[in-house]
C-alpha cells in the first residue's frame, strides 16, 4: 500500500515538472519575441523623432524668412512715403499758389509736412469791448495758431484757403436781467455779411454770470472774414478772462 502511494507521488512530481518546464520554455519564447518587436520599433521611433525635428526646423526657417520679408516691405513702404512727401513739398515750393493749394489737398495724410490748420483767439485782458455801429466788438489776442489756411487781423479771422471748417465761440456775459447773446458772421469779398451761428442766453437779476457757447461746421471761401459780435447791446458787460471768452476755427480738409 505504501509502495503504491510513493509511486503515485513520484508520478505526479514528474508530471508537474514537465508542465513547469514547458511553461518556462513558452515564456522564454514570448520574451524573445517581445524583445524582437521592441528592437524593430526603435528605428521607426528615431526616424519619426528626426522627422518631427526636421519639420519644426523647416517651419522655423520659413517663419524667419516671412518675418524678414515683411520687415523689408515695411521699410520700403516707409521709404517710398518719405520720397513722395519730399517730392510733393518740392513741387509746392516751385508751383504757383493755386497749384500749391490743390497739391496740398491731395498730399497723403502720412506726410509729416502737412499740418492741421487752426486758430484760437482769446479775449484781450488789456482792453475792453467797444461799440461799432449796432454791435459790441470784443478785442482779441491770438492764443493758438498753426497752418497757413487761416490768419487773423484785428478782431477778425481771415480764410486763406477754402474748405470745411469748425467754427466755435464762447462769451461769459455779466449783464443782469436781460436776454444776451452773440452771433458769428462772415463777409466775403464785395458781399453782405452772412450770419453763421447765433447764441442767446437769459441773464439772472443777481449773480449775473452766464456763458453763451456756440459751434458748428461751415463751408468757407478764400478771403472770407469772420467776426464774433454782440448785437444790439451797447451796454454789454463781458468777462475778459482768456479761458472764459474766446473765438476759434479749425480747418477739416
Is residue 34's pLDDT more than 70? Answer: no
Is residue 164's pLDDT more than 80? Answer: yes
* CB 188 within 8 Å of CB 218: no
Choice between 38 and 184, residue whose per-residue pLDDT is larger: 184
Confidence band of 191 (pLDDT split at 50, 70, 90) = confident
Q: What's the pLDDT at 25?
A: 72
124 Cβ contact list (under 8 Å, min separation 6): 139, 140, 141, 240
Is residue 182's pLDDT more than 60? Answer: yes
Q: What's the pLDDT at 62?
A: 64
Q: Are residues 79 and 147 in the same domain?
A: no
Half-sphere exposure of 117 (CA within 13 A, CB side): 21
Backbone angles phi, psi at 109, to 5 degrees: -65, -20
Q: Are residues 102 and 143 in the same domain?
A: no
Specify which residues 207 forms β-bridges with.
none
* CB 107 within 8 Å of CB 137: no
Q: Are residues 89 and 128 in the same domain?
A: no
Containing structural domain, residue 60: 1-114
Confidence band of 79 (pLDDT split at 50, 70, 90) = low
Residue 15: how many other CB atoms lie within 10 Å? 10
Residue at a domain's end among 68, 97, 114? 114
Specify which residues 247 forms β-bridges with.
121, 169
Our separate counts of H helices and E strands in the chain read 2, 12
Q: What's the pLDDT at 110?
A: 46
Query: What pTM was computed for the model?
Result: 0.56
Q: Are residues 56 and 154 in the same domain?
A: no
- Estimate the crossing angle of helix 97-106 against helix 2-94, to 10 degrees: 170
What's the domain count of the chain?
Answer: 2
Q: What's the pLDDT at 1?
A: 62
For the chain, percent of residues with pLDDT exceeding 70: 59
Is residue 29's pLDDT more than 90? Answer: no
Comparing 78-82, 201-205, 216-220, which segment has the lowest mean pLDDT? 78-82
Q: DSSP for 77-131, please give it.
A: HHHHHHHHHHHHHHHHHHS-HHHHHHHHHHS-TT-TT----EEEEEE-TTS--EE
- The CATH number given to whatever domain includes residue 145 is 2.60.120.40
Across the range 159-172, mean pLDDT stands at 97
105 Cβ contact list (under 8 Å, min separation 6): 253
3-state secondary structure (DSSP) of residue 84? helix
Q: What's CA 240's distance to the chain center, in Å?
A: 36
Distance CA 100, CA 82 (A): 19
Q: What's the pLDDT at 72?
A: 65
Confidence band of 59 (pLDDT split at 50, 70, 90) = low
Q: Which residue has the cell 510733393?
A: 88
Amino acid at each position: 500500500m505504501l509502495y503504491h502511494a510513493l509511486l503515485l507521488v513520484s508520478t505526479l512530481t514528474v508530471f508537474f515538472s514537465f508542465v513547469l518546464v514547458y511553461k518556462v520554455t513558452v515564456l522564454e519564447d514570448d520574451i524573445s519575441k517581445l524583445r524582437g518587436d521592441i528592437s524593430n520599433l526603435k528605428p521607426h521611433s528615431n526616424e519619426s523623432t528626426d522627422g518631427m525635428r526636421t519639420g519644426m526646423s523647416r517651419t522655423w526657417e520659413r517663419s524667419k524668412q516671412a518675418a524678414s520679408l515683411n520687415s523689408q516691405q515695411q521699410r520700403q513702404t516707409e521709404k517710398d512715403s518719405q520720397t513722395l512727401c519730399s517730392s510733393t513739398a518740392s513741387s509746392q515750393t516751385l508751383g504757383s499758389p493755386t497749384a500749391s493749394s490743390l497739391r496740398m489737398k491731395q498730399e497723403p495724410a502720412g506726410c509729416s509736412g502737412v499740418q492741421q490748420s487752426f486758430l484760437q483767439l482769446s479775449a484781450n485782458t488789456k482792453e475792453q469791448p467797444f461799440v461799432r455801429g449796432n454791435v459790441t466788438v470784443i478785442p482779441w489776442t491770438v492764443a493758438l495758431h498753426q497752418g497757413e489756411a487761416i490768419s487773423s487781423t484785428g478782431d477778425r479771422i481771415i480764410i486763406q484757403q477754402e474748405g470745411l471748417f469748425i467754427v466755435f465761440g464762447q462769451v461769459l456775459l455779466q449783464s443782469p436781467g436781460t436776454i444776451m447773446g452773440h452771433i458769428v458772421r462772415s463777409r466775403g469779398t464785395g458781399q453782405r455779411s452772412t450770419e453763421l451761428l447765433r447764441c442767446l442766453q437769459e441773464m439772472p437779476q443777481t449773480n449775473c454770470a452766464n456763458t453763451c457757447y456756440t459751434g458748428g461746421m461751415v463751408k468757407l471761401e478764400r478771403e472770407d472774414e469772420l467776426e464774433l459780435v454782440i448785437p444790439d447791446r451797447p451796454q454789454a458787460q463781458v468777462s475778459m478772462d482768456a479761458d472764459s471768452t474766446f473765438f476759434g476755427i479749425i480747418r477739416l480738409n
